[in-house]
Structure 1
Amino acid sequence: MNAPILQARGLMRHFITNKPLFGAPSIVQAVNGVDFEIIEGETFAIVGESGCGKSTLARLLSHLIEASEGSVIYDGREISGLTGAELRDLRREMQFIFQDPFSSLNPRMTVGALIGEPLRIHKIGTPAERRAKVAELLRKVGLRPEHADRYPHEFSGGQRQRIGIARALATGPRIVIGDEPVSALDVSIQAQVVNILEDLKDEFGLTLIIIAHDLAVIRHVADRVAVMYLGEIVELGEAAEVFAAPAHPYTEALLSAIPIPATGARKVQTKIEGDPPNPISPPSGCRFHTRCTYVQDICRTERPQLRDMDQGRRVACHFADNMSLEGIRTDNQARPPAVARRFARYSAARASMTANTESAKLEKEE
């Protein structure tokens, strides 16, 4: 396994709202105590509902915004507080693909100028070499070299996102962060852009960090996945394991919402009731307990820690060790041996917890 190229340690970002007429200003806990590491060469996905803090976390990792607390370590070096030439060097090795390909491109600049701008800023090559580099990058993302003389408004959304990808690759970065890179595109175009990212990752030896809420896309491209809820990571592990056997109720509910083809296979739908709580005043204990199907008394009072399970899984749930969350499995799917063992070990405990929950509901109704 390769060494970690990027690490987050106790990372927090709190925003202060406008001060009201009376009283103190409120604090929005956008990212709250995040810890993880990203291995060089992998595709690492961060997923969750809108407003859970994914984009804020991506901007913290790339030093587009400063952290309130904690640290980001890139290639063994703390990057918080970098300025001037050191920050410029970091930008060369860590590039960003934004969600909206149109608003991220200057409409007054030609495509050639947009892609060549990072080369000019970092003083890479002569003018002739930069033009040749721009033409090469356009070919690699599926566009033609003559497109360099056109403006962003002359392209479709998918083509504009390809331009954004070419611009991100111009400086030869080691890490590329995509903040919802395909969510603004038609479904028919999303697969093309995802395939381009995967091909370029292999060709250039990139480390990809993908921010997304479309789990159907993440399922096919990610090596590992981190699930965020209300500013915290609630589950982290190998993508294949997380998708096959979610160990957190929130992950189970997200995965059960993925559409499946009409093949006759049955699918258990796990619904999340209500809206996410206000990040200004998050719930006590587990932040998900107000919407959790399996909530118990301890969930309301004690915050679960993100702790290690087997095979590199980390889960923030009091009952992750004794509850099977089989939400999206269908009867005709073959289970890997490790997953089958987990289901056998936890099935009795889950049945007991479900029975206790239903009994509590009946007593409350009576």
Structure 2
Amino acid sequence: MTAILSTRGLRKDFVTAKPLFGEATVVQAVAGVSLDIAAGETFAIVGESGCGKSTLARLLLRLIDPTAGEVWYKGEDLASLPPARLRALRRDLQFIFQDPFSSLNPQMSVGALIEEPMRVHSIGTRTERRAKVADLLTRVGLRPEHADRYPHEFSGGQRQRIGIARALASGPTVLIGDEPVSALDVSIQAQVVNLLEDLKDDFGLTLVIIAHDLAVIRHMADRVAVMYLGEVVECAPAGDLYAHPLHPYAEALLAAIPVASYGARPARTMVEGDPPNPIAPPPGCKFHPRCPYATDICRVERPVLADMGGGRTVACHRATELSLQGLADLEQARTPAARGRFALYAQAMADKTAHNRPE
């Protein structure tokens, strides 16, 4: 695999405001993440809200500076580049923001918004730029005459298409989408996902998609990294992860995907409890307070990402056992108190997804 974008020990700490009494605290939003993203693939980063995936996405493009670690793009460490060189590389690395309305300047026309990256990077003449604006609008499913309108005149799905056209204007090689469809209703989500897949092929892009809904990226991702409390706990080819997750947290996320049911609700595997406080994460494995497979070692020793073969890495002390026996065979390994915990947690996640989905 030829990596076009890599991270090594990437970390980002945020310092909270100092209270009147006491000391300021540090939240480790990204905790030593190492990833390799191959040229031309669609790489998904998934996890619950607050797990650090959006912070990681911004670190990949150095929209925010890391506390420690490295981000490598084609042999250059973005984390240590001077501003002039970093600005030149912005042409290759573009971002699609989650909220298509707040990311577009309401005082600029759509044509000016899409043309701006080309002007910044001195791409083409004014006539050539306007021609490219018309072409990009057509490619994302809009009309050339929309260039004269303003963002507030469009629907949410149309605004997201404008954001995608703007991201493509500089001719990037890597496109990172921070939950690019989460603010859209279900029917529009499918349209934008299909559009991204088509544009990836047309422009030869490497796609990095941030998502909390595994159903959205199920059929578009080549590989998936699962994050929990700032760490990658499993990274695997999408087909392998969906068929047989090895980390218990990945299992819980997959169990929470809503499914159509005519009659009795299908049994779900579950965990209980809320994510730990990121200011004071638990010792050992961060997931052990909610894990139905946790043992004594999980409570005292933090697991590291281990190579399981086949392009899969897992941070779990029982990963080898889970891989050999299968998750279904380990049902009896759960303590009686832990049996059925996954049903409450996955059901809560599914209910939250249904509640937040626009009508």
Instruction: Provide the secondary structure at the position in 2 that maps to 1:221.
Output: coil
2:22 maps to 23
> Is 1:322–1:349's contact at 8 Å kept on the other side of the alignment?
no
Displacement, 1:177?
0.2
Greater shift, 179-188 or 252-261, is seen at 252-261
2:319 maps to 320
2:269 maps to 270
Greater shift, 83-92 or 95-104, is seen at 83-92
1:327 maps to none
- Report the Cα distance in structure 1 between the residues aligned to 2:295 and 2:309, rounded to whole angstroms: 24
Displacement, 1:267?
3.8
Displacement, 1:271?
2.5
Does residue 350 (structure 1) correspond to residue 351 (structure 2)? The answer is no
Greater shift, 267-276 or 303-312, is seen at 267-276
1:146 maps to 145
> Is 1:41–1:205's contact at 8 Å kept on the other side of the alignment?
yes
Distance 1:360 1:312, change over 3 A: closer
Which residue type is aligned with residue 321 of structure 2? Answer: N
1:223 maps to 222
> Is 1:34–1:233's contact at 8 Å kept on the other side of the alignment?
yes
> Is 2:226–2:233's contact at 8 Å kept on the other side of the alignment?
yes
- Report the Cα distance in structure 1 between the residues aligned to 2:328 and 2:23, rounded to whole angstroms: 49
- 1:17-43 deviations in whole A, cap 9, x for unaligned? 111222221000100010110000000
Does residue 258 (structure 1) correspond to residue 257 (structure 2)? The answer is yes
1:12 maps to 11
> Is 2:233–2:305's contact at 8 Å kept on the other side of the alignment?
yes
Which residue type is aligned with residue 163 of structure 2? Answer: G
2:119 maps to 120
Instruction: Provide the secondary structure at the position in 2 that maps to 1:123.
Output: coil
Which residue type is aligned with residue 132 of structure 1? Answer: A
1:196 maps to 195
1:61 maps to 60
Does residue 79 (structure 1) correspond to residue 78 (structure 2)? The answer is yes
1:247 maps to 246
Which residue type is aligned with residue 102 of structure 1? Answer: F
Q: TM-score, normalised by structure 1?
A: 0.89
Distance 1:210 1:347, change over 3 A: closer
Displacement, 1:264?
6.7
> Is 1:256–1:268's contact at 8 Å kept on the other side of the alignment?
no
Instruction: Provide the secondary structure at the position in 1 that maps to 2:322.
Output: coil
- Report the Cα distance in structure 1 between the residues aligned to 2:165 and 2:337, rounded to whole angstroms: 57
Displacement, 1:152?
0.1
Greater shift, 274-283 or 110-119, is seen at 274-283
- Report the Cα distance in structure 2 between the residues aligned to 1:235 and 1:263, rounded to whole angstroms: 33
Distance 1:202 1:254, change over 3 A: same
Q: Which runs of 5+ in 2 are unaligned?
A: 340-359
Q: Give the percent of matched residue pairs that are identical in Structure 1 and Structure 2.
A: 68
Greater shift, 162-171 or 274-283, is seen at 274-283
Displacement, 1:260?
1.6
Instruction: Provide the secondary structure at the position in 1 that maps to 2:34.
Output: strand
- Report the Cα distance in structure 2 between the residues aligned to 1:279 and 1:205, rounded to whole angstroms: 38
Which residue type is aligned with residue 309 of structure 1? Answer: M
Runs of 4+ in 1 over 3 A off after TM superposition: 263-268, 345-349
Greater shift, 72-81 or 8-17, is seen at 72-81
> Is 1:11–1:70's contact at 8 Å kept on the other side of the alignment?
yes
1:214 maps to 213
- Report the Cα distance in structure 2 between the residues aligned to 1:62 and 1:227, rounded to whole angstroms: 20
- Report the Cα distance in structure 2 between the residues aligned to 1:55 and 1:39, rounded to whole angstroms: 20
Does residue 47 (structure 1) correspond to residue 27 (structure 2)? The answer is no
- Report the Cα distance in structure 2 between the residues aligned to 1:221 and 1:36, rounded to whole angstroms: 19
Instruction: Provide the secondary structure at the position in 1 that maps to 2:233.
Output: strand
Which residue type is aligned with residue 20 of structure 1? Answer: P
- Report the Cα distance in structure 2 between the residues aligned to 1:315 and 1:218, rounded to whole angstroms: 20
Displacement, 1:293?
1.3
- Report the Cα distance in structure 2 between the residues aligned to 1:146 and 1:290, rounded to whole angstroms: 56
Which residue type is aligned with residue 35 of structure 1? Answer: S
- 1:140-169 deviations in whole A, cap 9, x for unaligned? 000000000000000000000000000000
- 1:57-96 deviations in whole A, cap 9, x for unaligned? 0000011011101100101111113233211111100000
- 1:101-142 deviations in whole A, cap 9, x for unaligned? 000000000000000000001010111001000000000000
Distance 1:111 1:27, change over 3 A: same
- Report the Cα distance in structure 2 between the residues aligned to 1:82 and 1:48, rounded to whole angstroms: 30
Displacement, 1:360?
9.1
The total of aligned residue pairs comes to 339
Displacement, 1:265?
9.4
